[in-house]
């Protein structure tokens, strides 16, 4: 039963938001009749809602005549803040929906150029096939991207787990680092002499431990994909993650060499801002990426 009584109010001092919705509809329509039409309710419902709100505020919000209404000074002040609150609440509802609702919306993902073709592009394509309401922006850069500081939902990186307490690091997989060469070069390698080597400059030889044979660095490159391309052209032996050259190993364009070289593992991480409840689109993609990587191995 509707009657003008004082309602419990939210901490910011507003009455029931349904009554505020009616108030905003009247302002937008310029009349009670217009609000009735836009809301699809009766004239009495609109009148009672405005009466409850005015009782709650102890102020008149409208000056009424036969055909239209005008805001009082109190009504104008209330409208200014109530319209902002309506926008804020709509944004809050969208934020909650993004954590509990359907998998939809834009995902911004960062990764290295080496991870793009081997891991990220295939996973993104298959994810889009499963979730037609999702779109993805995939940015590939060797620069270390921090999702907290940039407009990125997820960064995928290789290396040690990040220590930032405000970031979540989920380990996707590990893969062996291996020395590879073309079959032609492998057939003529003389391990008693210096082996021609293509070095990934940002890591250097020290990253790989003690080589099992003497190496002669013939080419230093600061781009991981270019290391692989140089090795494919026969420039020398290169060290790479088994995961990133799996296709070349399967087709026989590259073969494993120097099996006695004790190389470390490469670890792959999904890194994203820490939150008690992650957006459903992000949770779904991280799970899909981990599954996709596992299947590729």
Q: What is the DSSP string of 29-91?
A: HTSHHHHHHHHT--HHHHHHHHHHHHHHHTS--EEE-SS-EEE-HHHHHHHHHHHHHHHHHHH
How far apart CA 31 and CA 115 sit, in angstroms, is 59
- What is the predicted pLDDT for the residue at 135? 94
pLDDT, residue 167, reads 80
Question: Is residue 191 within a helix (H) or strand (E), and if so which, with residue range?
Answer: none
Hey, CA dihedral for 186, 190, 192, 195, is it positive or negative? negative
Contact between residue 118 and residue 228 where contact means Cβ atoms under 8 Å apart? no
pLDDT at 276: 64
pTM of the model: 0.58
The pLDDT of residue 2 is: 39
Please tell me the class of the 105-297 domain: alpha beta
Residue by residue, pLDDT tens for the chain (297 residues) are 333 333 333 333 344 458 888 999 899 888 888 888 888 888 899 999 999 999 999 999 999 876 778 899 999 999 999 888 877 776 666 666 555 567 888 999 999 888 888 889 999 999 999 999 999 999 998 888 888 788 899 999 887 655 666 788 888 888 888 999 999 999 998 878 889 999 987 666 667 777 878 888 889 988 888 999 999 999 999 998 888 898 899 999 999 999 888 888 888 889 988 876 678 899 999 999 988 887 766
In the CATH hierarchy, which top-level class contains the domain 17-100?
Answer: mainly alpha
The answer for 229, left when phi > 0, alpha when psi is -120 to 50, beta otherwise, is alpha
Non-local (6+) Cβ contacts of 45 within 8 A are 22, 36, 39
User: Strand, coil or helix: what is 102?
Assistant: coil
Q: Where are the domains of the chain?
A: 17-100, 105-297
Question: Which of 249-276 are b and which e, b meaning 16 or more Cβ less than 10 Å from the residue's Cβ?
Answer: eeeeebbebbeebebeebbbbbbbbeee
């Amino acid at each position: 039963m509707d009657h003008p009584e004082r309602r419990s109010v939210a901490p910011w001092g507003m009455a029931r938001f349904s009554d505020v919705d009616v108030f905003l509809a009247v302002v937008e329509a310029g009349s009670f009749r217009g609000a009735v039409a836009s809301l699809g309710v009766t004239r009495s419902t609109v009148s009672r809602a405005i009466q409850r709100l005015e009782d709650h505020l102890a102020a008149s919000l409208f000056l009424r005549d036969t055909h239209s209404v005008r805001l009082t000074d109190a009504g104008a002040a209330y409208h200014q803040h109530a319209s902002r609150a309506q926008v804020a609440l709509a944004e809050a509802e969208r934020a909650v929906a993004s954590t509990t609702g359907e998998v939809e919306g834009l995902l911004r993902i960062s990764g290295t150029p080496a991870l793009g073709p081997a891991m990220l592009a295939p996973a993104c394509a298959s994810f889009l096939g499963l979730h037609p309401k999702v779109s993805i922006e995939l940015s590939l850069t060797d620069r270390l991207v921090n999702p907290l500081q940039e407009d990125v939902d997820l960064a995928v990186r290789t290396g040690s787990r990040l220590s930032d307490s405000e970031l979540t690091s989920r380990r996707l997989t590990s893969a062996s680092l291996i020395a590879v060469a073309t079959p032609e070069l492998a057939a003529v390698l003389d391990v008693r002499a210096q082996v021609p080597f293509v070095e990934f400059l940002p890591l250097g030889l020290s990253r790989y431990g003690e080589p099992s044979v003497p190496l002669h660095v013939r080419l230093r490159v600061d781009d991981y994909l270019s290391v692989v391309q140089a090795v494919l052209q026969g420039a020398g032996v290169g060290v790479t993650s088994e995961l990133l050259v799996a296709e070349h190993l399967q087709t026989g364009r590259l073969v494993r060499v120097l099996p006695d070289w004790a190389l470390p593992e490469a670890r792959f991480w999904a890194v994203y801002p820490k939150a008690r409840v992650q957006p459903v689109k992000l949770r779904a993609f991280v799970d899909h990426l981990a599954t996709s990587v596992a299947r590729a191995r």
